[in-house]
Copies of this chain bind each other. A is one copy, B any other.
Amino acid sequence: MKQKLPEPMQRAFAEAAAAAARGEVPVGAVVVNAKGEVMASAGNRTLQDRDPTAHAELLAIRAAAKAMGSERLIECDLYVTLEPCAMCAAAISFARIRRVYFAAADEKMGAVEHGPRFFSQPTCHHRPEVYGGIGEGKAKELLTSFFKNRR
């Protein structure tokens, strides 16, 4: 029997699928507060918005900050379908996110377990708890199928 994904990760996957349907690289992210209530969710929109910073995590963090009226998302957790890049990892740290749950690792652009490993840097001043591999297979499948269809 397959293990059920946490509710917010399921929603992150729905955002990723919606991004793919728009022709965007399929990544989705969700911010929940300490009670588990969804503060914001977003899919990648770099092409649609013509904005190189419009990664799912950055959009979800910005929307959650707006919803909560604070630039610090104290006790909030972030669910994302792909290992965050350096831009998003730093934004996660600045936003004081408590826990990060991600699905697939990203050898090419990831900055949590790969490359700069941002949260392990001495210049990282807030380190979230990190849990990887939550729905990894599903995320890889989504990405592989997306890039296969594009070739």
Q: Taking beta carbons and an 8 Å cutoff, which residues of A are in contact with B?
A: 46-47, 49-54, 58, 61-62, 65-66, 69-73, 85-91, 94-96, 108-111, 114-118, 121-125
Contacts and interface: CB of A to CB of B under 8 A. Distances in A.
Contacts of A50: 65-66, 69-71
A91 B95 contact: no
Nearest to A46: B71
12 contacts: A51-B62, A51-B66, A52-B65, A53-B94, A54-B71, A85-B123, A86-B89, A86-B116, A86-B124, A87-B87, A87-B88, A115-B124
Given A46-B94, A50-B66, A50-B70, 17 more contacts: A46-B71, A47-B71, A50-B69, A51-B62, A52-B65, A52-B91, A52-B95, A53-B95, A86-B116, A86-B123, A87-B91, A108-B123, A109-B123, A110-B123, A111-B123, A115-B123, A116-B123
A71 B52 contact: yes
A61 B117 CA distance: 24
A53 B111 CA distance: 17
B118 A122 contact: no
A91 B47 CA distance: 14
A124 B118 CA distance: 13
Contact of A123 (B52, B88, B114): B114
